[in-house]
Amino acid sequence: MKACLRCKYLTNMDKCPLCNSEVSENWRGLLIILDPINSEVARKIKVDIKGKYALNVK
Ligand SMILES: [Zn+2]
């Protein structure tokens, strides 16, 4: 999987399906957001779509 450089969304595609930004294979830390509206973590990283995210993307 690759992570989006902007929103950190994890995807298998060559561009982020959410924001159309570049993706990178150089990421660390998996974060699964199931309930973005009630998740403190989701708010912290400004995520409002459920899915898998990286904690760190380079
Ligand atoms: Zn993105």
Enumerate helices (H) and strands (E) in the chain, giving the number of each: 1, 5
Number of domains in the chain: 1
**Ligand 1 centroid vs 22 CA: distance in angstroms?**
8
What are the tens digits of pLDDT across the range 20-30? 999 999 999 99
Task: For the chain, give the mean pLDDT.
Answer: 94
Taking alpha carbons only, the member of 9, 31, 41, 35 closest to residue 22 is 9
- Here the CATH number for the domain that contains residue 13 is 2.20.28.90
Please, which residues have CB less than 5 A from ligand 1, an ion?
Answer: 4, 6-7, 9, 16, 18-19, 21
Residue 3 has a pLDDT of 97
Contact present, 10 and 53 (Cβ < 8 Å): yes
Ligand 1 centroid to residue 41 C-alpha, Å: 17
pTM for the whole structure: 0.86
d(CA 50, CA 58): 22
Q: Which domain holds residue 15?
A: 2-57
